[in-house]
Amino acid sequence: MITRNEAVESLRDVERVSRRTHVASAYAVASPHLILWGLVWVGGYTGTGLTAPASWGWVWLPCIVAGAIGSAILGRRAARSGAAKPGGSANPNARSLLMALIIMLFMGSVYLVFKPSSMLPYLVFPALIMALTYALVGTFGLPRFTWIGAGIFVMVMLGYLLAPGLMSFWLAAAGGGGLILGGLWMRTI
């Protein structure tokens, strides 16, 4: 016979193992997405730095389409492998599209209301929104996302304060590189 205290401790151990398994599974699913979107950032922000602002949409459109298609493929692959669906969503692609639409509408409305007078906010604000998004995801029991979001935030602000003239290239290296490193970090669990 086991004592009541031993039973309670055993249940705690089971809960800890279950929680670690869930977190590791969520990180395993997220890792390739972060690497993919880090590459999108590298391509998009590098292209932005090499073109006139009037062409930025044409730089980012293929990058975002490639990222969305890649994310859908990665999501299907994860679903086929039986990986856990973070958030328990039956359709993670629909949830991701809805989240992207909400973020884009929010960013567009902020630009409309505040009407930036230079191009710098158009570069910096999306990166800050993504840093915030990753940090908030981390509050759902996935602390590595919080660190990734915080790291991107710090790097974006350092670039804004120290090298605003090189912001596109800074975001390609620091933001895109940060996402890639974050994705590789998540694989270490």
| DSSP-derived 3-state class of residue 163 | coil
| pLDDT beyond 90 at 58 | yes
Higher-confidence position of 149 and 11? 149
| Domain contains 75 | yes
Q: What is the DSSP string of 99-142?
A: HHHHHHHHHHHHHHHH--SSSHHHHHHHHHHHHHHHHHHHTTT-
| pLDDT for the residue numbered 86 | 52
Q: Does a structural domain hold residue 90?
A: yes
pLDDT digits (tens, 9 = 90+) for 12-45: 888 888 777 788 888 989 999 999 999 999 999 9
Residue with tokens 């973070």: 86
* Residue 102 included in any domain: yes
- Return the pLDDT at 187: 87
Statement: residue 134 has pLDDT above 70 = yes
Mean pLDDT of 56-60: 95
Residue 5 counted as domain residue: no
Reply yes or no on whether the pLDDT at 159 is more than 80: yes
Residue 4 falls inside a structural domain: no
Residue 112 lies in a domain: yes
Phi, psi of 83 (to 5 degrees): -65, 150
Position 1 in a domain:
no
What was the pLDDT predicted at 54?
A: 94
**Looking at beta carbons, which pairs linking 60-66 to residues 24 or more positions away fall under 8 Å?**
64/40, 66/40
**Per-residue pLDDT tens digits for 176-187:** 999 999 999 998
Question: What's the confidence (pLDDT) of residue 31?
Answer: 93
Domain count, the chain: 1
pLDDT at residue 92 above 80? no
Q: How confident is the model at residue 146 (pLDDT cuts 50, 70, 90)?
A: very high
- Tell me, yes or no, whether 113 lies in a domain: yes
Provide the residue range defining the domain that includes 29. Answer: 10-186
